[in-house]
Amino acid sequence: MSDLAYDSAVDLARKIRRREVSSREALEYFLARIARLDRTINSVVTIDADRARAEAIADDEALARGEVRGPLHGVPMTIKDSFQTAGMRTTSGAPELADFVPREDAWPVARLREAGAVIFGKTNLPIYAGDLQSYNEVFGTTNNPYDPTRTPGGSSGGSAAALACGFTPLELGSDIGGSIRLPAHMSGVVGHKPSYGIVPAHGQIPGPPGTLTLADLAVVGPLARTVEDLELALGLLAGPNRWEQPAWRLELPPPRRRTLAEYRIAAWLDDPRCRVEPEVGALLESAARALADAGARVDPQARPEFSLEKVADTFFALLQAALAGGTSRDRIEAYAASTGDAPLASTRRLVAMRHREWLSHNERRLQLRRSWEAFFQRWDVVLLPVMPCPAIPHDQTEPQAARLARVGGEQRPYWDLVTWMAPAGACYLPATVVPVGRLSNGLPVGIQVAGPYLHDRTTLDVAKHLLGRIGGCPRPAGF
């Protein structure tokens, strides 16, 4: 059997259908690889090998009868531990859920199973998916495959690390403040944040198991090592949710252009509100040049009719409101009384905002969305940084809002690191992240390809062209 570690999900599914490798053989390969190599990374934290073996054997027997369950028939894969998986422990990194075994799959998990995937394990994350690093009291800390002293990102950090290490060909992540995009950047893999509302997320934790509320800004999407895998997974995952499915259907528009040379691409690669490190900026500019050299029209001066500061302020306010659901009333009242301009005090006041304040921020969001509509009449996509720096060293001090992060030669507030999540995040836009190279210290750097609302296939198409010119995802030494 050939080395399967860095096969794409599409290629592995093809090998299984052609009987070049069995589902059981592929499963055993990944199980053995994780047992051998994951101890220093700690990305895959729950494994249900017996159940997965039974499913893989059943898939192989079905294939022998000429039956194919779907495009992922027999493909082993892991899932972020915030998604409920029937019969398999799901903790969301919380001690109170350390032994929780759901009775049913989250909706996106069910769709992957229906497509034939064999889900054999769960990947690590911060408690309740609430950080841009991945650690918790239940399973400990996940390390970056390129530098174990640094984080692979969060909250889908275990997902991205497992992909980078060749432990799984495909992953399911979630993104409210950058939890797909940040780990993809920090771990050197690809990820897609879908347009808000097109992938049903019922069955994700948080909120508590059984919650039906779909949080503002929050989306579910795939991570992988090829854009073709992202395209396949999005096609499987997208559709109406439980309330809409009796009448609604989803038909995403095709890519806006037929060839790369036809695309009109804006490049917003730096900004005074959140300066990127020079070496990071050089890789972003090189990626933009690669698209221009291939014939695309690329404009590094094109901007929407609003500032990064305005969209970031709106995003942070909406994000804190969306994350405030589990905060007690007593704590909310205490937070509302916070004074001063320090990041911790500002964050607490946002968590405690009144509904009338949220309505004001939401109206600003709608005005920003209208500005994007006008912008995307002239441009097909916009290139954006993911973070101003590469993966950061582990920092588990509390509270998070009081942390500092070193960017270049200066210390910045921790949550400044998610500033570039705002233009797409606040406005519900699709954004695809692909790696564009590695820094002199070996750490990978990604770029966002964001586009008009519901034009996910356009951002994926441009990202696929770009990744092909960059040379694909890097591989960490030793894996």
Cβ–Cβ < 8 Å for 172, 80: yes
Q: Which of 8, 179, 187, 346 is catalytic?
A: 179
d(C-alpha 145, C-alpha 95), whole Å:
26
- For 362, the 3-state DSSP assignment is helix
Which among 169, 88, 77, 94 is positioned nearest to 131, based on CA atoms? 94
The answer to whether residue 155 is catalytic is yes
d(C-alpha 311, C-alpha 181), whole Å:
18
- For 299, the 3-state DSSP assignment is strand
Query: Which residue has 């174990």 as its token pair?
Result: 148
The answer to whether residue 159 is catalytic is no
d(C-alpha 440, C-alpha 438), whole Å:
7
The number of helix segments (H) and strand segments (E) in the chain equals 14, 15
Crossing angle of helices 9-17/49-64, nearest 10°? 50
Which among 151, 59, 79, 83 is positioned nearest to 121, based on CA atoms? 79
Cβ–Cβ < 8 Å for 280, 324: no
Cβ–Cβ < 8 Å for 188, 159: no
Q: β-pairing, 219-224 with 171-175?
A: antiparallel
- For 76, the 3-state DSSP assignment is strand
Looking at this protein, which amino acid is placed at residue 468? G
d(C-alpha 120, C-alpha 138), whole Å:
19
Residue 335 backbone phi and psi in degrees, to 5: -65, -40
Residue 79 backbone phi and psi in degrees, to 5: -135, 140
The answer to whether residue 43 is catalytic is no
d(C-alpha 237, C-alpha 220), whole Å:
9
Q: Which of 23, 43, 155, 159 is catalytic?
A: 155
Residue 348 backbone phi and psi in degrees, to 5: -65, -40
**Of all helices (H) and strands (E), which one includes residue 173?**
strand 171-175
Q: Which of 15, 22, 23, 80 is catalytic?
A: 80
Looking at this protein, which amino acid is placed at residue 7? D
Which among 18, 47, 13 is positioned nearest to 30, based on CA atoms? 47
Query: Which residue has 């309505």 as its token pair?
Result: 359
Cβ–Cβ < 8 Å for 341, 399: no
Query: Which residue has 């997208």 as its token pair?
Result: 238
Q: How far is CA 277 from the centre of its chain?
A: 22
Cβ–Cβ < 8 Å for 461, 380: no
Q: What is the set of active-site residues?
A: 80, 155, 179
